[in-house]
Amino acid sequence: MAGKYRFIPEMSEEQIADVQLEGLRWTVAHAAQGSEFYAARLREAGVEPGGIASLDDLRGLPFTTADDLKEGYPLPLLSVPESDVVRIHGSSGTTGKRKILSYTQDDIDTWKDMFARCYELAGLTTLDRVQICVGYGLWTAGAGFQLGCERFGAMALPVGPGLLDIQLQILEDLGSTVLCSTASMALLMGEEVQKRGLAGKIKLRKAIFGAEAHTPKMRRQFEESLGLEDSFDISGMTELYGPGAGLECKAHNGIHYWADLYIAEILDPETLLPVAPGEVGELVVTSLRKQASPLIRYRTRDLTRLLPGRCECGCAMPRHDKIMGRSDDMFIFRGVNIYPGQIASVIEHFPELASEYQIVLSRREGLDYMLVRVERLPDIPGDNDANLAKALSDEIRRHILVRTQVEVQKPGALPRSFAKTKRVQDDRSED
């Protein structure tokens, strides 16, 4: 059926592969010619900039990392004359200098179209009113959600992050139909909507959320408290334009990513070789038409896996699973590598518990201890806390093979945050 989508191209696998090969050729030649950094890297790897003959040649290309962005600060990877750069964005660097990425007008236009695809896949219409509750300014989040919204043709309500009272006022007065925020923020707004008795007065139908790991339980909680029909996980990163690099579809079976704009590889973070099909590894991306800051095999640190086969929603773009955490979030406890998401997925099995959790690591007499704090749901009486705690501790031991202490707290006891909730508090001193 022609014309199902306005923004998402309907391409066969062969067509996607053709576009990828052409884009890879262009990117390598462009980067080698425009950037001293890339020229040197490619030379060291023995790559002839004009020698890309097939997609398999990707394997021979050197990697690019976040450290390369820091070393090239403030304008790393710049591959066009500075006069062609029309904008920069930055990401929140947790340590040291933040990452700055530059954009040409063509990059901005690509991003705009890329993000419009996300709204399209989420089933929005031009009559939707999109409340954007994410960071503006240096961050890509606000800019991306807004550019995409305007390109798509819906109405953008750019509130920004936080500002709970204003959020609720706009939600009620403007009748916002789509909420764009982090999962934590959606959860917080849902709690406030319930507390203030606004459920019957708002018109929200959908939420697009991203930027942090979430659990199905967290999602059910905000879908219910906000009265949503559906919600969609969005992917993206500043290095790859910003948010909008992919979106979950109505089938809720993975994230469709725009394979005509970038190539996604899933590699073992230790060996940097491809993992077996369907296995979890680090997402490594290569851009196909980024001009100002092209990416060649950029290590995202995000953990996910590719999903085989065509999606039942009919969208021909390939899928990866939700982001399962970051290799950086990993902590080592008594010699075991643990991702916070693993703890979250065990908590998920307990219908009595909310999705909020906190992990506190401590050290006594040379031995490490892990305390997991969770909250019981509002309708669960508190007299069973000790049994619940023991049951969760046993489950964690069974799944992750570590011994933990569990504390079940009353609803709302754990710290909430507008942005990314910090899950792990590491009190182990380094001495």
Residues engaged in binding Zn ion (CB under 5 A): 249, 251, 311, 313, 315
Nearer to Zn ion, 155 or 311 (CB): 311
**Which tokens belong to 129?**
């009113």
The distance of closest approach from Cβ of residue 316 to Zn ion in the complex, given in angstroms and rounded to an integer, is: 9
For residues 165 and 312, which CB has a smaller minimum distance to Zn ion in the complex? 312
Q: What whole-number distance in Å separates Cα of residue 11 and Cα of residue 21?
A: 15
Q: How far apart are the first and last CA of the chain?
A: 65
Q: Which is nearer to Zn ion, 121 or 185 (CB)?
A: 121
3-state helix, strand, coil in the chain (%, to 5): 35, 25, 40
Q: Cis omega before residue 216 (within 30°)?
A: no
- Which residue number, 121 or 159, has a Cβ lying nearer to Zn ion? 121
Give the tokens for residue 30.
Answer: 């462009």
- Per the listing, tokens 């997609």 go with 55
Give the C-alpha separation, 254 to 318, whole Å: 9
Nearer to Zn ion, 40 or 251 (CB): 251
Measured CA to CA in angstroms, residue 46 lies from 37, 50, 61 at distances of 14, 12, 9
Choose between 272 and 311: whose C-beta lies nearer to Zn ion.
311
Instruction: Say how far apart CA 260 and CA 246 lie, in whole Å.
Output: 12
CB of 9 to Zn ion, least distance (A): 15
The CB density around residue 284, as the number of other CB atoms within 10 Å, is: 24
CB of residue 289 vs Zn ion: minimum separation in angstroms?
A: 24
Token look-up 């900039």 returns 49
Cβ 123 to Zn ion shortest distance, Å? 11
Dist. CA 198–CA 168, nearest whole Å: 9
Min dist CB 86 to Zn ion, Å, is 33
**CB of residue 311 to Zn ion, shortest distance in Å:** 3
For the beta sheet containing 298-304, the strands, ordered from the edge strand earlier in sequence to the opposite edge, are 262-267, 281-287, 298-304
Residue pair 281/305 in contact (Cβ under 8 Å)? The answer is: yes
| Cβ proximity to Zn ion, 253 vs 362, nearer residue | 253
**Structure tokens given for 359:** 């992990």
* Shortest CB 257 distance to Zn ion, Å: 11
